[in-house]
Amino acid sequence: MARQNVFDMKLSKLYTLLTAKAIKKGRSKAEVDRVISWLTGWDMSRLDMEMPYGDFLANAPAYCSQVLLLKLTFINIDPSPMDNKVFDTKTTR
């Protein structure tokens, strides 16, 4: 069986796996929905769960401006001493 690219998978499949893992770790489906909405700007009640995951990411209405801080914290880098301009999403690049 050929491996499927994660970006081609339906969002519903990944969402099911993600919520199952969160529940196993003592979290709720509502918490997962809140985090997804916070990170991507998607309204979970109106989200087409049959879209490919790649489209879900590419068409996110409003990525959270603090995602980079979250990533840095996740990999154990303290973002506080860094220049705030790095994290300013309003500056032109």
Per-residue pLDDT of the chain (93 residues; tens, 9 = 90+): 678 788 999 999 999 999 999 999 999 999 999 989 988 999 999 999 999 999 999 999 988 777 666 655 555 555 555 555 544 545 443
Which residue has tokens 């050929």?
2
Measure the CA–CA gap between 76 and 14, rounded to whole angstroms: 26
pLDDT of res. 4? 78
> What SS3 class is residue 58?
helix
Contact between 53 and 6 under an 8 Å Cβ cutoff? The reply is yes
Amino acid residing at 87: F
Measure the CA–CA gap between 92 and 77, rounded to whole angstroms: 25
pLDDT of res. 86? 46
pLDDT of res. 28? 93
pLDDT of res. 91? 45
